[in-house]
Amino acid sequence: MTTAHTILVVDDEPSICWALEKMLTSEGHEVITGSSAEEGLRLAAQNDVSMVILDVRLPKEDGISALPKFLEATDNAPIIIITAFGDLETAVAAVKNGATDYLTKPFKLEDALRTCRTALQKSAHRTAPAATQPMDIDPSVLVGTSPAMQQVFRQIALVADSDLSVLITGETGTGKELVAAAIHRHSRRADGPYIPIAPVALNPDLIESELFGHVKGAFTGASDDRAGLFERAEGGTVLLDEIGDLPLGTQVKLLRVLEQGQYCRVGDVKPRTANVRILAATNSDLHEDVATNAFREDLFHRLTGVQIHLPPLRDRVEDIGPLCRHFLAAMKYADIESAVDDELLEQLHSRPWHGNIRELKNAVGHAAVVSRGRKLTIDDFPEPKPGRDAPTTSPVLAMEKSIRVWSENAIEANPDSVTLHSDYLAATEPTLLRTVMKHTGGNRAKAAEMLGIHRGTLRDRMKAYGIDDQ
């Protein structure tokens, strides 16, 4: 049964007041109406108002400037602003100033009713509108009560105070960098620098310079000596995120750091000591990369002094509740305990959470903004992210990685090669020609058109590779 409330409607258009009054009284509520901010405030002072519907454009004082007065007069009752269609700036200003929600004219009564029902849920929680302040909770805090996360905590505790290399694995968004930060924070190096870096985000031509530094004149643009990551992290910890994307040539030099504790700046032959602890993280299968020669096996074994695997959120759904409350607390959300109930958690548990903790954090932030301090419902959350049926890496990026791996292996095998381009074509072109010929049913004219080359050129290339028409 719907709880009856006293609702104040303030609008200078009689038709709007009449329509809203009819709609809300049919729900069992008592409705009082006023045609100006001044009259509305007088009515608010005389009645125990549970909600206010307030038009922006009023005869004297406008709704936006009067909004704080209505909040004070009604002990922070939810206020729905009515604004003109397309007046986004006004709507945003209203919400920032404490409005619970807004309706844009012209609106449908069913939309208005839905908005009112949602806003009335807040009337039981009359707190100041501070639902979504910026997060100030330590971002390195790991949250989880599940057995899987307790095992992760145990591994962090056991490995933190050593200098062992640690490989942290898990899907995107599971919190790998938080684990690395926790290891550093609890280690004997805690007073030293902690520097996370993702090699994939660096210019491929400058990765070694970024990691190891360079001397003046080492390459075009190297106008001064420059310290690299390992020098800047002296006495501390380095996290190499997405380690699987590290070029093979750089992998060799990283292996030297791990095995000998030494490196050289680019353009220098003088070895330097690396007094750093190396942590690595990846969301890819390094075993598969080792099998395809995309990752050095010796470096893989050297990195995995200890391996910590972070399970996906769908495999530890019991942590969703504590995580939701943690994120809400970070946003200083009002009445956190009652904001997330068992019904909501059951619905959240059934979601796939392909983006893991990162997706949940964003979803909770979205819900907090929409709900404006009341108890959360599943309707406050955005739709679940698409599934993982489609490949997470595009074909173009996969091809680029394959070409890079082939090129690096070829250069490492023969650094003085002068036939790299022709060797690459010989390795790849036959497959392309066979695929196109099969697609066209052996029709050379169609195949040449698809390839964008002359038919005679196709004939010569097929002959060179010993490819038959069929």
What is the pairing mode between strands 262-263 and 306-309? Answer: unpaired
**Model pLDDT, residue 456:** 85
pLDDT digits (tens, 9 = 90+) for 364-375: 999 888 887 778
d(Cα 418, Cα 425) in Å, to the nearest integer? 14
pLDDT digits (tens, 9 = 90+) for 273-293: 888 999 999 988 888 888 888
Kindly give the parts of the chain with pLDDT less than 50.
Answer: 1, 86, 127-140, 389-394
Of 382, 381, 380, 189, which Cα lies nearest the Cα of 278?
A: 189
Q: According to DSSP H, which parts of 14-62 are helical?
A: 14-25, 37-46
**Model pLDDT, residue 391:** 42
Tokens of 312: 């996906």
CB contact at 8 A, 265 and 215: yes
Of 17, 22, 28, which Cα lies nearest the Cα of 55?
A: 17
Distances, alpha carbon 112 to alpha carbons 74, 94, 275, 355, 426, in Å: 21, 17, 64, 34, 68
d(Cα 83, Cα 57) in Å, to the nearest integer? 8
Distances, alpha carbon 283 to alpha carbons 169, 177, 273, in Å: 6, 12, 30
In the three-class reduction of DSSP (H, G, I as helix; E, B as strand; rest coil), residue 65 is classed as: helix
**Model pLDDT, residue 390:** 40
**Model pLDDT, residue 85:** 53
d(Cα 230, Cα 262) in Å, to the nearest integer? 10
Query: Which strand ranges, in their side-by-side order, compose the sheet holding 79-84?
Result: 30-34, 6-10, 51-55, 79-84, 101-105
The residues pairing with 53 across neighbouring beta strands, listed in sequence order, are 9, 80
d(Cα 309, Cα 167) in Å, to the nearest integer? 8
Distances, alpha carbon 239 to alpha carbons 60, 103, 130, 184, in Å: 61, 48, 36, 10
Q: Is 216 left (phi over 0), alpha (psi -120 to 50) or beta?
A: beta
Structural domains in the chain, sorted by start: 6-124 (3.40.50.2300), 147-309 (3.40.50.300), 316-380 (1.10.8.60), 395-465 (1.10.10.60)
**Model pLDDT, residue 397:** 56
Amino acid at 181: A
**Model pLDDT, residue 122:** 62
Peptide bond into 106 cis (omega under 30): yes
The DSSP line for 162-229 is S---EEEE-STTS-HHHHHHHHHHTSTTTTS-EEEE-GGGS-GGGHHHHHH-B-TTSSTT--S-B--H
Query: Exposed (0-12), middle (13-18) or buried (19+): which is 15, by Cβ within 10 Å?
Result: exposed
pLDDT above 90 coverage of the chain, percent: 25
Amino acid at 197: I
